[in-house]
Amino acid sequence: MSGRQSDGNDELLMKIVRTSILLWMSCILLFLSGCWDLRYLDKLGVVLAMGIDEDLSGKQKLQLTVQVVLTQNVAALSKGGGGGESPVTTYTDTGDTIFEAIRKMSAKTSRRLFFSHTQMLLISEGMSRKGIYPLLDLIERNPDIRTNISVAVTRGSTAKELLQVKTQMEAIPVIQILDMIEINQESYGMNYPVYVKDLIKTAGRGLMQASVPTVRMEGDKAKSNTSDNTSTIPAGAIPALTTMAVFRDGKLVEFLKPKESRGLSWLQGKVKNTVVKLACPESEGYLIVEVSNAHNRTTVRNVKGMPVVDITLSLIGNLQEITCPGIDVADEKAMDRIGMMTSEAVKQEAEAVINILQKKAKTDALGWAKEIYIHQPSLWRRIVPNWETEFPKVKHEIKCTTKINGSGIRSRSIVK
């Protein structure tokens, strides 16, 4: 009897304990709710890309365009419906600085713009020529915006127009541009992604100048931002990559030619996979070598008080296309010869970019200053005061070796 009663008491006690714990936890919730900084997801406009143009009216320094994802339309798209509603929209406003323009935009948006997921920054050619570092300060300083944003320069059309193109392959247009740069690096190596944090590093010690990929619009601009653009095959207008653009002190100076652009990639060690075209030695036609592995090493020698930059490129490739007769791929000598031809072709591309950087653009986008600083600090100390004039005079030596591994899944070619 008494035992039972005490059981009842225990139960009551447990109940009180449980209730008080529950009460305590709900009290704690008051403190854990994120305080003043709470932001509801459905009150945020997630910005995927920013585009910076010159202000056309000339009254202010820049015109900012943001590409905002429309979550309700994305949800409709993934369900298979869609009905022609665009998953993104853009807002544009002018300002003397980016932050000013962003905040001015609040006059047009019902949601607070949220920059934590911004992935791309497009800068128009005009703005790039005026200098990009003032545009990056906000991105670096603001705790909300991350610095792994991919950067591209627009050529021929404004950043605004490029952010408004409807694309077919990707529902969200900026993803198309973003992935295009990476795919190009992985398969052709003419462009490679450059992130805001990389540019900030070039701004820092000033020992390397910036280089950024370029995007343009291909096709009919007029209808690029309507759904007509994607209703035809092929699309009326598409964003397309061109070549790398090189900067001097944060100001765009030169768009490289395709050959030079890949030369820059070789020397920066950015080539992941590419194809090298060679003319057949004895007959009409071409050989294509797919380079699947490229490795580069740069050192600096001190020759009579002047730096000589030694660049060693070692490539591994495969013969993948033969359009001329008389190539015996079973012969090791022939393979070695193709390897040497590949090396020569790659060397030419590298020489081409060094030539234009030293002679025409006069900008050290290869980071030779950094290499000299690292490898020959005493020499660097002496030449640093007039590095600007010294850079075009720096000599270099490129050694390139190619190892050809095989010739695909066939030996002799059917071309006769």
Partner 1 sequence: MSKNAGINNAEITSGQCAKLYILFALGSSALILPTVVIEIAKQDAWLTMLLAGPINYLVLMIYLALADRFPNLSLVQYMEKLIGKWAAKALMLTYVLFFLVNSALVLRNISDFLGLSVLPITPTWFIDAIFMLVVIYGVCLGIETMARTGEILYFWSTFVIFIILIALLYQLDYKNFEPLLYNGILRPIKGLYPILGFPIGEFVFITMIFPLVRKTDRKKLRKSLKLATVMITAYSVLLTLFLIGVMGVDESSRSPFAVYDLAKNINIEEILVRVEILVAMIWIGTIFMKLVLCVYVLSVSTAQLLGLSNYRPLVVPFGFVVLPLSLIIYRNIAHARVFSAGVWTVYSVFQGYVLPLLLLIIAVIMKKRDNSEGNSFENRYQANESIGDNKSGDETDSIATKEPAPT
Pairing mode of beta strands 211-219, 237-248: antiparallel
Distance, in Å, from the CA atom of 194 to the CA atom of 214, rounded to the nearest integer, reads 11
* Helix, coil or strand: residue 37: helix
User: Is 155 or 370 the residue whose CB approaches partner 1 more closely?
Assistant: 370
Contact 283, 325 (CB under 8 A): yes
Q: What is the C-alpha to C-alpha distance for residues 221 and 199, in angstroms, rounded to an integer? A: 30
The residue within the footprint of partner 1, chosen from 148, 187, 348, 405 (CB under 8 A), is: 148
Determine the 3-state secondary structure of 182 from DSSP: helix
Does residue 205 belong to the site contacting partner 1 (CB under 8 A)?
yes
Number of residues that bind partner 1 (CB under 8 A): 19
Output 140 or 228, the one with its CB closest to partner 1.
Answer: 140
**C-alpha separations of 383 from 50, 169, 202, 259 in Å:** 40, 51, 19, 31
The answer to whether residue 385 forms part of the interface with partner 1 (CB under 8 A) is no
Q: Residue 263: CB partners within 8 Å, gap ≥ 6?
A: 256, 349, 350, 351, 352, 353, 354
Among 3, 83, 84, 143, binds partner 1 (CB under 8 A): 143
> Which of 390, 341, 348 is CA-nearest to residue 368?
390
To partner 1, the closest distance from the beta carbon of 302 in angstroms equals 13
Between 111 and 375, name the residue whose CB sits nearer to partner 1: 375
Rounded to a whole number of angstroms, the minimum distance from the CB of residue 161 to partner 1 is 29
Is 3 or 143 the residue whose CB approaches partner 1 more closely? 143
3-state secondary structure of 139: helix
CB of 147 to partner 1, least distance (A): 7
Q: How far is the CB of 376 from partner 1 (least distance, A)?
A: 8
Span interacting with partner 1, options 62-70, 196-204, 335-343, 408-416, rule CB under 8 A: 196-204
- Return the bridge partners of 45, or none: 113
Over the window 18 to 57, marking each residue x when it contacts partner 1 by CB under 8 A and - when it does not, the resulting string is -------------x--xxxx--------------------
For partner 1, which residue of 111, 130, 146, 301 counts as binding (CB under 8 A)? 146
115 binds partner 1 (CB under 8 A): no
What is the secondary structure of 242-281 as a DSSP string?
EEEEEEETTEEEEEPPHHHHHHHHHHHT--SSEEEEEE-S
In the block, tokens 């002799």 appear at 412
C-alpha distances (whole Å) from 385 to each of 201, 361, 391, 396 are 21, 20, 11, 21
Per CB under 8 A, the segment of 92-100, 139-147, 354-362, 402-410 that binds partner 1 is 139-147
Structure tokens at 234: 């092929």
Q: 35 vs 414, which CB is nearer to partner 1?
A: 35
- Residue 91 or 115: which CB sits closer to partner 1? 115
Alpha carbons 177 and 121: distance in angstroms, whole number: 10
User: CA 393 → CA 307, 308, 311, 362, distances in Å?
Assistant: 9, 10, 16, 10
Residue 138 contacts partner 1 per CB under 8 A: no
200 binds partner 1 (CB under 8 A): yes
Q: Does 377 bind partner 1 (CB under 8 A)?
A: yes
Report the residue number, 205 or 410, with the smaller CB distance to partner 1: 205
Q: Which is nearer to partner 1, 148 or 232 (CB)?
A: 148
CB of 260 or CB of 364, closer to partner 1:
364
Q: Which residues pair with 288 in a beta bridge?
A: 277, 321
In the complex with partner 1, the residue whose CB is nearer, 76 or 308, is 308
Q: Which two three-digit tokens encode residue 9?
A: 């008491």
In the shown chain, the binding pattern of residues 330 to 369 toward partner 1, with x for contact by CB under 8 A and - for none, equals ----------------------------------------
> Per rule CB under 8 A, is residue 375 in the interface with partner 1?
yes
Q: Cα–Cα distances in Å, from 180 out to 162, 238, 332, 370?
A: 14, 11, 37, 30
Tokens standing for residue 193: 């992604």
Site for partner 1, rule CB under 8 A: 31, 34-37, 143, 146-148, 197, 200-201, 204-205, 370, 373-375, 377
